[in-house]
Amino acid sequence: MSPAPTTATDRADNIARTRAMEAVIVHPSVAILTDCSVYERASVRHNHGAGAHDGGPMTEREHGDAVADVRRDQMLAAASTLIAERGFHDTRIADVAKRVGASPALVIYYFGTKDSLLTEALRWSERSFYIATEEMLKSTDKLRDRLEILVEWTLVADKQDELTGDWGLWFDLWAQAFRHPEVKKDRAELDAQWRALIARIVQDAVDSGEISEVDVESFAIMWGSLLDGLVVQVALHDPVVDLPRARKVALDVAYKELALDRARPRARSRRGAKGS
C-alpha cells in the first residue's frame, strides 16, 4: 500500500487534484469554475427531479453536482491548509475565498459559518486517513502489526518540527468545542469515529481468537484518549514525552491491556497520519 499523505497540505493537494481531474474528464466545461457557475450549478440538484423534462436533465444535474463538489473540495483544501498554518482565529473566510479565487459569499453559501468550515475541513482531511486505514486492514492481519501501524500513523515524526498537519485542526476544534455547542457535537462525532476504528480492530482480534475476550469499548476509549494526549505532548515539544517515549508508552499500554506478547520485533513502519 502506498504511504498515506502526512500533512493536511499533502492530502489537500492530492484529493483536490484528483477530484478536479475526474470532473474535467467527465465534464470538460467544469475546468473553469466561477462564482456564477457554481451558484447556478449547485442549485441544479435542488431544482430538477428525476425525469423533470426531456433533453437530458440528469446529465445537467450530474454536471452541476460535479462543479459544486469540486469547488467545495477546493474550499476545504484551502481551509485545511490555512487553519493548520495560521490557526483558526487567524484564518478568515476571506482568506479561504482568496486562496481558491472565489468570493467570501460563496464560501458562506457552502458552509454557513466559520465554525462549520472548521469541522467540515477536519472531516474532509480525515477522509484519506480512514481510506488508508481500510487498505491497511485488508493487507495486515495481526493485531500487533495493526496497532503498531496505527501508532506510527498517529504520532508522525515530521510534526515535531512543523505542525501543519491535521493535529493543528484538531487542536483548534477542541478549543472551539469547549465554548460552542454545535462544534462540541461535531467533535463528539469525530472522536466516536476514531474510537470505533480502534474498537473494530480489537474486536476483529477477539473474534478470530487472536486474543482473549476484553472490554473492547473501554479499551477504545482509554487507548484513543491516550494517543490523543500523547500527540499533544509530542506536538508541544515536551522535554520528557518525546516521540520515541510516546510510541513506547502507547504500545506498552496496548500490549499490557490486550495481553499481547511484547517480545516480537516491531512491524515494518508505514508513514501516514491521523490528524492528518
Domain-embedded: residue 3: no
Q: What is the pLDDT of residues 32-78, one digit of tens each?
A: 333 333 333 333 333 334 444 444 554 555 544 555 778 888 888 88
Task: Check residue 226 and report its DSSP letter.
Answer: H
| Residue 105 grid cell | 459569499
What does the pLDDT average to over 19-32? Answer: 38
- The answer to whether position 254 is within a domain reads yes
C-beta of residue 140 within 8 angstroms of C-beta of residue 208: no
Burial of residue 255 (number of CB atoms within 10 Å: 0-12, 13-18, 19+): middle
User: Within 10 Å of residue 178's Cβ, how many Cβ atoms?
Assistant: 10
Give the pTM.
0.64
Say how many domains are in the chain.
2
Which among 14-18, 101-105, 142-146 has the top mean pLDDT? 142-146
Do 225 and 242 fall within a single domain? yes
Do 89 and 176 sit in the same domain of this protein? no
Domain coverage including residue 13: 8-117
189-210 pLDDT, tens per residue?
A: 889 999 999 999 999 999 999 9
Assess if residue 21 is contained within a domain.
yes
Both 157 and 231 in one domain: the answer is: yes
Domain boundary among 117, 146, 170: 117
